[in-house]
Structure 1
Amino acid sequence: MLTGCYWHGAASYGIGRQERTLVLIKPDGVKGNYTDRIKNTILESGFLILRERTQQLNDETAAKFYAEHSSKGFFSSLVKYMTSGPLIAMVLEKDDAVAAWRGLIGPTDAHVAKVTHPNSIRAMCGLNMEENCVHGSDSPQSAEREISFFFEDLSAGESLIRRDEL
């Protein structure tokens, strides 16, 4: 497959479909000192890290982010887990970023990931279904919504790299 990418100012134009996705290195990933390994894996896999921030979620913010799970039995433990320490939020860009990132992180359940996707990020640092080290958006639409949740200053389609950062 022939691919190409051309830089014009701060925006990239390629033959593939450039997408953004949100990544969270969850509290267990930060506490376990997996951050550098995860970032290296991200960069080695051809992603650009466009934005990054460290944040400590409170109960209200975690509940709002995971509102779609509010009726599920695991919701309160999920909120407790996501507020147990700082997390790192990142915006990544790559052709088909959502699918590429989800392939890189492996199955949600880290036990399954260790068996079926032993080279995945969740196999590397996840413990179980909940403490699985990283979050990945499940669709391009979810990615845009989740990016705006953590990076309010970004709008869909906006160039993320400021010229002074190049």
Structure 2
Amino acid sequence: MIAIAIACQPKLLIADEPTTALDVTVQAQILELLKEIQAINDMSIIMITHDLGVVAEICDEVIVMYAGNVVEKTDVDTLFHDPKHPYTELLMGAIPKLDEEVEELATIQGIVPSLKNMPRVGCKFAHRCPKAMPECTLVTPQLAETNAGHEVSCLLYETSKPKEGMNAS
């Protein structure tokens, strides 16, 4: 599959869940192969994955999405050390720590919304968010820069909040 994808020497490779359902050894081999191919061909890779370990291993820049919307965009180090969006914070909190004994892993409360019944206005994460405010269901947040190169789509970080009922959707 990888050979076919790079046969025409593309400048961009889209790797959609390339390590899903692989054991750790094969996963490491695939990631190493992708890094080699990237270096040899001077190629960019868009890595689509749910595996934050893979993100930490191979990515330079990260876009976190929830229900089809970008909620955070930054470099990989900032994402792991200073997540801003409540969804990203909860994802990071759900990563098991090797040096800690826990009886139960952290989870994100609530149910992922159905794409058929997705609200047209407001934050898609509002109903699951522990930091939600009433306006989160009324105003669609826009990506706002919190620090150089770190953007977050959350009303907590917007400097000029739109008036109630106004949105960008």
Q: TM over 0.5: same fold?
A: no
Normalized against structure 2, the TM-score is what? 0.22
Bigger proportion of residues as helix: 1
Q: Which protein has the larger Cα radius of gyration, Structure 1 or Structure 2?
A: 2
Instruction: Give the structure-1-normalised TM-score.
Output: 0.22
Q: More relative contact order in 1 or in 2 (CA 8 Å, sep 6+)? A: 1
